[in-house]
Amino acid sequence: MNKIRNKVKLLNRVSSLEFLPNLSKKVGSRIYVKRDDEGGRGGGGNKLRKYERIIADAIDKKADTLIIAGHYQSNAARELIGASCQLGLKAVVVCKPMIPEQNSIFNQNGNALLMKLMNATLVSIGQEDEFQIEMEKVAAKIRQEGGKPYIIPFGGSNLLGALGYFDCANEIIQQFKNIENKAPNYIITPVGSGGTMAGLVAGSAIASSETKLLGFSVLHKDYTINAKVEALANEVINAVDPNTNIKPNFQIDTSFVGDAYGIPTKKGIHAIKILAQLEGLFLCPVYTSKAMSGLLNYIANNKIKREESIVFIHTGGMPLVHAYYNQYN
Ligand SMILES: *Cc1c(COP(=O)(O)O)cnc(C)c1O
């Protein structure tokens, strides 16, 4: 249980829940955003909630160097470097080009630029190399040199990481109650490695909330992600309440991924422009725009009713807006 409670503080305030009046008026549903894109070091984003317990575990195990798998435009890596700087830990990004270069400065702009400014250590590996094997090699070298490495799970999506979004679900339920005096009809999030979704699903289930949890995949195109989220949500539920028989209940739509992870979609780019122009809010081409395009599509097709209320998790990714600067025509 200690593991569940132990946290390092990476977020210094509760992220706000904001109503989007102009978008809501345009589409007819009541849309709110949970601003998890703001706050914390390294530029902020959803990984910081996950890292609060994961890094606490690393410190507990006397680790001095964090190792993460990533790519040049990885939010997860950039946020980990930011947290490491703040906490005075070392960190290594084992890096391979997971996204085809979208322009001639793709690997120098956006997250790559911010990681460079933070003096991040990047170890580049080949396209065919396995992340896990290469991370183990880096860890072995660190041990040889007398250091104590700690490998961050993929996307920060293990039990400790997902618990951060268990907390977030409770925050949302409370914040929404203060505004509308009931539960929202939907909580919507992009789904990559699935930890954000799993934590939210578990939090909502334990709170017996009637809110429907809807995720839009940005990575997996098949339903393997469903099994992954279900297993992790169950793990969180059992960790928080070992005697419960509550089951996770959620839906993930994989049809808005487009060609692949990191490749923008037409609908996503359209969503970026709509949100920027109506609300002054920026979504990124990799994650939030694809989820928002799913939400707008569901409303347009009456899968979400016009009078229903929605909380959209803004998971961050602002540096990606810049990295894809030539994709907005
Ligand atoms: C990592 C990330 C996600 C996906 O979160 P998972 O917990 O991996 O599903 C969504 N949005 C942004 C901006 C991210 O960086």
- Which one-letter amino acid corresponds to residue 165? Y
User: At 84, phi and psi to the nearest 5?
Assistant: -65, -40
| CA 225 – CA 128 distance, rounded (Å) | 23
pLDDT of amino acid 163: 98
Average pLDDT (279-293) is 98
Q: What is the mean pLDDT of the chain?
A: 97
- Tokens of residue 102, six digits: 């979208």
Instruction: Give the model confidence (pLDDT) of 287-303 as tens digits.
Output: 999 999 999 999 999 99
| CA 196 – CA 66 distance, rounded (Å) | 21
pLDDT of amino acid 5: 82
Q: Is the CB of 111 under 6 A from ligand 1?
A: no
pLDDT of amino acid 71: 96
pLDDT of amino acid 1: 56
Q: Which atom of ligand 1 is nearest to the CA of 37?
A: 13
Q: Is the CB of 315 under 6 A from ligand 1?
A: yes
Q: Is the CB of 149 under 6 A from ligand 1?
A: no
Helix (H, G, I), strand (E, B) or coil at 215: strand
CA-atom Rg of the chain in angstroms: 19
> Strand pairing of 186-191 and 309-314?
parallel
Which ranges of the chain would DSSP assign to H, the alpha helix? 2-5, 21-27, 47-60, 75-87, 110-117, 131-144, 159-180, 195-206, 224-240, 266-279, 288-300, 318-323
Nearest Cα residue to atom 5 of ligand 1: 192
More confident position, 24 or 12:
24
Tell which one of 315, 318, 321 to mutate to probe ligand 1, the residue whose CB is within 8 A of the most ligand atoms.
315
Report how far ligand 1's centroid is from the alpha carbon of 196 (Å): 7
Instruction: Give the model confidence (pLDDT) of 36-49 as tens digits.
Output: 999 899 999 999 99
Instruction: Give the model confidence (pLDDT) of 131-166 as tens digits.
Output: 999 999 999 999 999 999 999 999 999 999 999 999
Band (246; pLDDT cuts 50, 70, 90)? very high
Concatenating the DSSP letter of every residue in 6-60 gives -------SPPPEEE-HHHHHHHSSEEEEEETTSSSSTT--THHHHHHHHHHHHHH
Residue 117 DSSP symbol: H
